[in-house]
Amino acid sequence: MTSSFRSPAITGAHMDEILGGRRLRRNRKSDWSRRLVRENTLTTDDLIWPLFIVDGENVREPVPSMPGVVRLSVDEAVREAENAMRLSIPAIALFPNTDPDLRDASGTEALNDQNLVCRACRAIRAEGYNVGLITDVALDPYTSHGHDGIMDGEKILNDETVEQLCRQALIQADAGADVIAPSDMMDGRVGALRQALDSNGFRDQQILAYSAKYASGFYGPFRDAVGTNATLVGDKRTYQMDPANTDEALREAELDIAEGADMVMVKPGMPYLDIIRRIKDTFQVPTYAYQVSGEFAMIEAASAHGWLDGERVMMESLMAFKRAGADGILTYFAPRVAEVLARGR
């Protein structure tokens, strides 16, 4: 049965009258026009490339839950630092997979100036590569229980942990780290780190604070990569943030900035774009996002099944961080994104 309703004839003039002359598609009609009106731009200057370090030589060990990501021996990390320079990636972030035999309850391997991170920093510096070195300040890669701090029973000891983090940071700075990045979420650690660095002659070392690090379910593949999934006892909700909170993120960032943080970071990234936006708008300081392992793994898995255009979604996800206000992004996609940008996509 045919409907008796009649659709009015829409002419160009009629539509112009409806729209009042405002046709937003004019600016989208061609590539050159879209480029001219684009509000946010992604470049290699926005990228930080996380690398996982293991013991040995000539080691490139795949991380099963992170397709395309490998654990690297120090010599291979040096090669990737050179690759970062070739791709114009400004900085790399180093994370160790510490031998289980070297892990103990207090994370003393973090204080070994010959640990994996320190050796990697020195080896990269010895080659003279002009790439920023960001080192993670936390105890979880070194503790037998997988937590970011020293424990007394089931309690994380804040102040005792901060004291150890300061010693860890000094060792990393002496090894050549440019940026000290505390990811532990202990209270007061940024101020203590700034004081320790300054009083020991490391005034130029920057602090990138993991200011809003949430107790998230998106970290699983990372914990596989650094070997803490098997060791973690309980969870980290007494020191990492509740995913339900946003105002608390502003308070955390405000404290870190007041204590001397040069840059702040939100982790994870994509599920917390609102937090990135609020922090950037409120404090107008360099603000970073960490596209964490779970975000990476989801995109890779969907791409492998043909459910998503992997490259397109990869680029779109990073643009989302830029749109939210991020000045830089830690992402495992960094070398692939750099290659795409070099092709002019």
Q: How confident is the model at residue 335 (pLDDT cuts 50, 70, 90)?
A: very high
Helices (H), 59-143: 74-86, 116-126
Tokens matching residue 55: 């013991």
Residues 39-64: what's their mean pLDDT?
97
User: pLDDT tens across 55-107, in order?
Assistant: 999 999 999 999 999 999 999 999 999 999 999 999 999 999 999 999 999 99
Tokens matching residue 296: 């990476």
* pLDDT the model gives residue 297: 97
Share of the chain above pLDDT 70, in %: 98
Helix (H) or strand (E) holding 271: none
Between residues 7 and 127, the one the model is more confident about:
127
Burial of 261-297, coded b for 16+ CB within 10 Å and e otherwise, reads bbbbbbbbbbbbbebbbbbbeebebbbbbbbbbbbbb
Q: Model pTM greater than 0.85?
A: yes
Other CB atoms within 10 Å distance of the CB of residue 28: 11
* pLDDT the model gives residue 110: 98
* Residues forming the active site: 213, 267
Phi, psi of 115 (to 5 degrees): -70, 175
Dist CA 105 CA 159 (whole Å): 16
Other CB atoms within 10 Å distance of the CB of residue 20: 7
User: pLDDT tens across 187-242, in order?
Assistant: 999 999 999 999 999 999 999 999 999 999 999 998 889 988 777 888 999 999 99
Superfamily the domain 44-342 falls into: Aldolase class I (3.20.20.70)
Task: Answer yes or no: is pLDDT of 302 > 70.
Answer: yes
